[in-house]
């Protein structure tokens, strides 16, 4: 319970241990390819940064792997057709993360499922130059698959004045219920290590550090045996704690480097790559396959057969739930894990995006009555970023956004530890989100009036 008890395993200060992590539901299910969906809905903003521009129109015939959304600007990622078929429409569709409608390319599946010419050709990665890797990653539209969906080629292009000495690979998978990374690590360990080596080659750094949570000891042993003759790649067991897989926490735990406010991982000389991202980098470089599918955990007490699925992008959630034998008593569907996931408003229109690692279907939708803050300070103890979430939530409630900004509210990554632990059941993360949005609005307004 007390966060600063010294553990033998590497970890960070703060964080929480959810009592039941629900991972047992899907731990032992080998991932199976979900049946190809009849229709896919490819949203044009599946990443952080500028939305893509649709380059196909209604009635066009597209092949699997064909570019349908062209990235606009450097911080943006291409979107490719995940099935072959006819473009039914290019129309707004509800986005599962933002909740508002965004442009989407809707494709109806045809019978053949072959790659477009030029994709899926083996390529020898030994001869490749760093620039080629970067270019292949960029054209494949790879984003951080841990959930943040930051375009990976931007990460692979650190500013000239910064030196990166270590690539940290995130195999923690700290979010309860999700086992998609675990299954991937068990089934494709060599490919993941290859992907990691490509990243190291790309940014020209010698060392790598892999962090795996202690509840995945089989993966730890497997990785350890693979990299046994490579002293520059270290593998370490981490304490089972949420949010162990967050960039800052992983670097703190593995490399013992501390962050100043507003610092990014690259400013302390490290970049963090998720295992699923490393795997898709390998696929993109070795076989020139764009990112069109990923492993998704469909789990929770609302489905009879919790399962890991290999899912094409833009698959309607309804078909996945049917495949996992959803019960009729589902009251809540969450994209991602229970801590940081986004609850869905409409099960009929929800479609998967690049950042979707899990679909959690729950029978119970608890409603809490929040009370006034009792100043117990538990949120401070558990905040992995060293903030005072309770105070920030009070300031946001009183609409003192400037005060909240002075107290570094923008440093909050909305991991949800404070809300989980709060005995008064205060909606702390929601209040902090509210303050962040309002501060962003004020800053935009100031920037607009300044010029």
Residues that bind another protein (CB under 8 A): 94-95, 98-101, 342-346, 365, 367-368, 397, 427, 430-431, 433-434, 437-438
> At its nearest, how many Å lie between another protein and the CB of residue 409?
14
**Preceding peptide of 274 cis, ω within 30°:** no
> At its nearest, how many Å lie between another protein and the CB of residue 20?
23
Rounded CA-CA distance 203/164 in Å is: 7
> At its nearest, how many Å lie between another protein and the CB of residue 95?
8
Alpha helices, DSSP H only, in 168-274? 180-187, 189-203, 217-226, 247-255
Instruction: Using the minimum distance from each CB to another protein, give the nearer residue, 346 or 364.
Output: 346
Instruction: Using the minimum distance from each CB to another protein, give the nearer residue, 345 or 364.
Output: 345
Q: How large is the C-alpha radius of gyration of the chain?
A: 22
Instruction: Using the minimum distance from each CB to another protein, give the nearer residue, 170 or 393.
Output: 393
Instruction: Using the minimum distance from each CB to another protein, give the nearer residue, 14 or 358.
Output: 358
Q: What is the DSSP letter of 34?
A: P
φ, ψ of residue 110 to 5 degrees: the values are -100, 175
Instruction: Using the minimum distance from each CB to another protein, give the nearer residue, 91 or 325.
Output: 91
Distances (CA, A) of 22 to 9, 178, 308, 311: 22, 8, 14, 21
> At its nearest, how many Å lie between another protein and the CB of residue 109?
26
Q: Is 446 helix (H, G, I), strand (E, B) or coil?
A: helix
Contact 320, 295 (CB under 8 A): no
Instruction: Using the minimum distance from each CB to another protein, give the nearer residue, 152 or 419.
Output: 419
Question: Given its phi and psi angles, is residue 375 left (phi above 0), alpha (psi -120 to 50 degrees) or beta?
Answer: left
> At its nearest, how many Å lie between another protein and the CB of residue 41?
16
Rounded CA-CA distance 100/95 in Å is: 6
> At its nearest, how many Å lie between another protein and the CB of residue 16?
21
Instruction: Using the minimum distance from each CB to another protein, give the nearer residue, 130 or 427.
Output: 427
> At its nearest, how many Å lie between another protein and the CB of residue 373?
14
Residue 382: closest CA among 434, 339, 418, 422: 418
Contact 354, 313 (CB under 8 A): yes
């Amino acid at each position: 319970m007390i966060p600063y008890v010294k553990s033998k395993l590497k970890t960070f200060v703060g964080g929480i241990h959810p009592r039941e992590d629900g991972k047992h539901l899907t731990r032992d299910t080998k991932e199976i390819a979900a049946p190809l969906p009849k229709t896919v809905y490819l949203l044009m903003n599946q990443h952080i940064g500028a939305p893509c521009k649709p380059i196909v129109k209604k009635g066009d015939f597209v092949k699997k792997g064909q570019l349908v959304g062209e990235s606009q600007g450097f911080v943006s990622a291409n979107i490719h057709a995940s099935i072959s078929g006819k473009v039914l429409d290019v129309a707004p569709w509800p986005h599962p993360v933002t909740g508002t409608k965004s442009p989407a390319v809707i494709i109806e599946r045809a019978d053949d499922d072959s790659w477009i010419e030029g994709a899926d050709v083996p390529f020898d990665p030994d001869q490749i130059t760093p620039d080629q890797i970067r270019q292949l990653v960029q054209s494949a539209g790879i984003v951080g698959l841990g959930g943040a969906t930051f375009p990976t080629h931007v990460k692979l292009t650190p500013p000239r004045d910064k030196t990166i000495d270590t690539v940290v690979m995130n195999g923690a998978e700290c979010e309860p219920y999700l086992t998609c990374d675990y299954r991937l690590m068990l089934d494709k360990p060599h490919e993941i290590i290859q992907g990691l080596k490509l990243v190291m080659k790309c940014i020209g750094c010698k060392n790598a550090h892999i962090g795996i949570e202690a509840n995945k000891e089989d993966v730890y042993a497997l990785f350890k045996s693979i990299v046994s003759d490579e002293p520059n790649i270290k593998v370490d067991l981490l304490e089972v704690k949420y949010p162990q897989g967050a960039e800052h926490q992983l670097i703190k735990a593995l490399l013992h480097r501390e962050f100043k406010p507003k610092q990014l991982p690259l400013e302390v000389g490290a970049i963090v790559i998720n295992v699923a991202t490393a795997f898709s980098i390998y696929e993109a470089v070795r076989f020139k396959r764009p990112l069109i599918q990923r492993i998704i955990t469909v789990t929770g007490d609302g489905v009879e057969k919790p399962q890991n699925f290999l899912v094409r992008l833009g698959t309607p959630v309804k078909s996945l739930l049917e495949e996992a034998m959803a019960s009729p008593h589902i009251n809540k569907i969450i994209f991602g894990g229970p801590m940081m996931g986004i609850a869905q408003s409409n099960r009929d229109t929800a479609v998967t995006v690049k950042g979707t690692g899990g679909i959690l279907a729950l029978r119970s939708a608890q409603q809490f009555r929040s009370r006034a803050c009792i100043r117990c300070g538990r949120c401070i103890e558990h905040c992995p970023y060293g903030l005072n979430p309770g105070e920030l939530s009070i300031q946001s409630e009183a609409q003192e956004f400037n005060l909240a900004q002075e107290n570094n509210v923008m440093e909050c990554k909305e991991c949800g530890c404070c809300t989980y632990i709060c005995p008064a059941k205060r909606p702390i993360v929601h209040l902090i989100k509210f303050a962040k949005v309002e501060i962003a609005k004020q800053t935009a307004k100031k920037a607009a009036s300044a010029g």
